């Protein structure tokens, strides 16, 4: 853990981007209680249970099913203005248009 702290410190010194450990969290996966205790002692972070979410998306130890992802695709598509579709590559437009048609209509002309 000392090496991890040193890497974070060196990254901050080199880039000017410092990690705010008070806003960070530790997500133990198959971790022994004694190891988690050591990590909690060294890193001033909170500990959260796995599975968890990151940037609003669930983090799991299995692959998502297509049905599970459709709601996320729809939310992202709803936030994408129609004019941005013109700057997408053709594969992105076809995928986006196909998803919008499956879910009740297309915003592309």
Provide the residue ranges of all domains of the chain, joining segments of one domain with +: 2-55, 66-102
Length, in residues, of the chain: 109
Assigned token pair, 58: 């669930």
Q: Please give the model's pTM, rounded to 2 decimal places.
A: 0.50
Cis peptide before 51 (omega within 30 of 0): yes
Separation CA 9–CA 18 (nearest Å): 7
**pLDDT attached to residue 16:** 93
What does the pLDDT look like over 63-101, one tens digit per residue? 888 887 887 777 777 777 766 666 767 777 667 666 666
User: Does 45 have pLDDT greater than 70?
Assistant: yes
- Give Cα 95 to chain centroid, integer Å: 21
């Amino acid at each position: 853990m000392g090496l991890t702290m040193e890497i974070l410190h060196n990254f901050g010194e080199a880039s000017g981007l410092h990690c705010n450990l008070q806003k960070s969290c530790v997500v133990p996966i198959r971790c022994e209680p004694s190891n988690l205790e050591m990590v909690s002692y060294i890193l001033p972070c909170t500990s959260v249970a796995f599975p968890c979410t990151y940037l609003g998306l669930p983090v799991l130890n299995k692959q998502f099913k297509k049905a599970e992802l459709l709601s996320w695709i729809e939310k992202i598509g709803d936030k994408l203005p129609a004019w941005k579709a013109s700057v997408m590559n053709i594969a992105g437009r076809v995928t986006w248009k196909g998803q919008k048609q499956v879910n009740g209509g297309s915003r592309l002309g």
